[in-house]
Chains A and B, each alone.
Chain A
């Protein structure tokens, strides 16, 4: 670790409801689900049928376009339901746990003894491949491509995000085993850490290059870290994964199992007992939030953080890539003369509310849009919160007119939704920028494949 990379632009939203670094006690729920919608571009094809007995690691469905990418059950039990939405699109594959904790067994192995192909095959068979994603496009990695690097962000700067050092303590061995396996896939592994945190877990890893970052959100986003260390140009690919997923990969090799365990943080202004909870991929959040929220008002349950997370119900399921559950007020109220009122206590990047006179430490924000959708009017807002050499507004315009060349030139390869979530937060015109970017990415995938 040589120099600290300073990120100047960005914003830490001081959201109320930060969790202390303590473990809370909650039973595991009965229901678990794998949601195909968590994985961009995957067209699920069911393998198991409703009523089938499954173990942890049994294949539930695979991607129709890439049959080698398989998705497995996080627990042992019975396939309880396949919930479909419009046009029979599969939304949730629900498994009812039987508590027996049976696991499919995969052979243990030393990664160093295996070739790249064998590792890929092993990861795909055990349903761990979907956790390796790639930039550009932020989709599941393609094993036939050769990435120029593998990048892991060792910290999360999103509002109320879990502290990765805390989450990973005690799992160093599995993490190292995972890294060893990854190195067989791509022997150029980089880890981004926070400059001031001890980050012992990451600094003690063997065989990785560590970069230290200092700055507000989105400094913890892997896309931002890649941009500042090895920007992605046309034709280049970087693979990414999150630390807990690397741990799961490690356990496949050391213990020969599909390990769905995750530590998730439960946070947000409306949560009574905030803290870290041991849970599993796709677990229903019902046992976490039941009798654990403050009001009976309408609440917004989010799998993930408030910027990029998925809106779920109070008995919804934790997303595949998420290790955070946030609960905030829904905010479906009318506000009288909002444009004229002084607005003490409102949170805004601009100083157009008088809240700058009494800065609060924490804000209890809700999901109200605070206005209606407008065309782009105010300029320069996005640039303030995107620490990249990219002109976001012009990229969005290129996407809206579907100009592939311009999208490419203006840097769509480097961006994922999470990187521009703050732009969407700041947007006066309330534009759905993450959806616009995904539309552009989908178009790129379609046109260039």
Chain B
């Protein structure tokens, strides 16, 4: 630790303004602050500050994502061997899953952080921490059989178009991870939907045992295949909750996601209002559709709806992204509720692709400033009224 500190202190003079490697200042700074909280002290204003900073905040979110990641790794192996009809041990499943999932994580972080560093370098800014979370979110919302080059292209698109063009972390309109997913969804639909992409090996034509289909629960429901939803079926409430179903890497296990949610809410990093209202909105919409019951998806139980697809993952990790969400407290209720309703609505009506969470969140990201605007106007009106009463 001391040696590391000395190393940084030795390099520092060479990257200061006017020195030979001054261009590398922001890279140096990013590495230094990664290892050491800087020694800067408050100059004006408050003399003491809360110990939390953005690095800590982001690190907590990444920690909260780890249960979902670990489960995703296991489930990738589990689904793979299930499709082959081969019995495998726990560690074989983990091993297979890790081989499939970790490269995606590495590519996502490598490409994303590379671009972040480049932009910081060009702008002469400090490297901002936002991508620490996005880099983990991107792999978790992708199907496991996605080619790595697509991950790289999507990540690059998300960081540049989704974030840096707006000015970096804190300035973006949409959640960068969802931008990446949306990019892949529209650019390479064949790799993002269908029955083959969700289980590793299927798209390469590896054998399937009888009775196994790689389709997700929602895919099955959309095509009218409701047999597996019954108690004891592959997509019953219990399987859907624990997450032993095909789907994007990190989104299948509502259980693992809930562990993350508890971490986020307890630490105060994730917003409980948004999470609750997304689930409430989804549940109410599910109930309404149950009453209507025009197609199979509408007949899926409202609670079951919340356990399927990316709903829980979106509610806990995507909708709560503070930058792209509403920033007023009242707005958060409205924003979350609408995401929940829209997600189920799109899911039920979309003929091409039976999932709506991504689009619902992106749409509400777009409208978040509008919601905030009305909340702010409400505040302004209330204050004006007060003046008139006084006068």
Interface pair A409/B383, CB less than 8 Å apart: yes
CB interface residues, A 324-377, toward B, < 8 Å: 326, 328, 330-340, 343, 346-353, 365-377
Asked whether any CB of chain A lies closer than 8 Å to the CB of B352, the reply is no
Contacts of A336 in B (CB 8 A): 1, 4-5, 35-36
Residues of B within 8 A of A428 (CB): 50, 52-54, 57
Residues of A within 8 A of B390 (CB): 230-231, 233, 236
Give the Cβ gap from A98 to chain B, nearest Cβ, in Å: 34
Cβ of A161 within 8 Å of any chain B Cβ, yes or no, is: no
Q: Mark B162-188, 1 if CB is under 8 A from A, else 0.
A: 000001111100000000000000000
Distance of A331 Cα from B126 Cα, bound (Å): 22
Distance from B304 Cβ to chain A, minimum over Cβ atoms (Å): 32
CA distance A351 to B63 in the complex (A): 14
- Taking the closest CB of chain A, its distance from the CB of B95, in whole angstroms, is 27
The answer to whether A375 and B41 touch across the interface, beta carbons within 8 angstroms, is no
B60 interfacial by beta-carbon distance below 8 Å: yes
> A166 at the A/B interface (Cβ < 8 Å)?
no
Q: A347-B51, A378-B322 are in contact. Are A331 and B380 (CB under 8 A)?
A: no
Cα separation A55 to B207 with both chains bound (whole Å): 100
CB contacts (< 8 Å) of A282 on chain B: these are: none
**A370-B50, A372-B38, A377-B54 are known contacts. Are A334 and B5 too (CB-CB below 8 A)?**
yes
Chain A binding surface, main DSSP class: loop
Stretch at the interface among A169-177, A180-188, A429-437: A429-437
Instruction: Evaluate contact between A374 and B45: CB separation under 8 angstroms.
Output: no
Smallest beta-carbon distance B321→chain A, Å? 9
Q: Which of A41-49, A59-67, A87-95, A302-310 contacts B (4 or more CB under 8 A)?
A: A302-310
The answer, yes or no, to whether A389 is at the interface (CB within 8 Å) is: yes
CB pair B169 A432 closer than 8 Å = no
Residues of B within 8 A of A383 (CB): 329
Which one of B126, B375, B384 contacts A372 once the chains associate, using CB atoms below 8 Å?
Answer: B126
Known: A336-B36, A377-B130, A432-B44. A372 touches B53 (CB 8 A): yes
Q: A334, B37: Cβ atoms under 8 Å?
A: yes
- Kindly state the separation between the CA atoms of A123 and B337 in the bound complex, as whole angstroms: 59
Chain B 231-252 interface 0/1 with A at a Cβ cutoff of 8 Å (1 = within): 0000000000000000000000
The answer to the question of B134 belonging to the interface, with a C-beta cut-off of 8 Å to chain A, is no
Instruction: Find out whether the CB atom of B171 lies under 8 angstroms from the CB atom of A375.
Output: yes
Chain B residues whose C-beta falls within 8 Å of the C-beta of A421 in the assembled complex = 45-46
Within 8 A of A (CB), among B334-386: 372, 375-376, 379-380, 382-384, 386
**Set A350, A373, A433: member contacting B52, Cβ < 8 A:** A350
Task: Tell me, yes or no, whether A410 is within 8 Å of chain B by CB.
Answer: yes
Closest chain A residue to B322, Cβ basis = A379
B:202-238 near A, CB below 8 Å:
none
Q: Is A380 an interface residue (CB 8 A)?
A: yes
Chain A residues 404 to 431 lying within 8 A of chain B, measured CB to CB, are 409-411, 417, 421, 424-430
One of B48, B128, B266 near A425 (C-beta < 8 A): B48
Distance from B84 Cβ to chain A, minimum over Cβ atoms (Å): 39
Q: Is B40 an interface residue (CB 8 A)?
A: yes
Whether B271 is near chain A, meaning CB under 8 Å from some CB there, is yes
Chain A contributes a number of interface residues (CB within 8 A of B) equal to 75
Residues of A within 8 A of B271 (CB): 379-380
Given contacts A343-B51, A430-B53, A434-B45, contact A338 B268 (CB under 8 A): no
A379 to chain B, nearest CB (A): 4
Contacts of A369 in B (CB 8 A): 38, 40-42, 49
Residue A195 at the B interface, CB < 8 A? no
**CA gap between A328 and B42 in the complex, in Å:** 12
Which B residues are in CB contact (< 8 Å) with A427? 49-50
Which residues on B sit within 8 Å (CB–CB) of A231?
383, 386, 390
**Which residues between 120 and 145 of chain B lie within 8 Å of chain A, taking CB atoms?**
126, 128-130
State in angstroms the CA–CA spacing of A394 and B372 once bound together.
10
Cross-chain contact A432 with B268 (CB below 8 angstroms): no
| Contact A367:B47 (CB < 8 A) given known A334-B38, A379-B327 | yes
Given contacts A233-B386, A371-B53, A394-B376, contact A379 B40 (CB under 8 A): no
**Mind listing 11 A-B residue pairs with CB under 8 Å?**
A307-B46, A335-B37, A339-B59, A347-B51, A352-B60, A370-B52, A371-B38, A372-B53, A372-B54, A374-B128, A424-B45
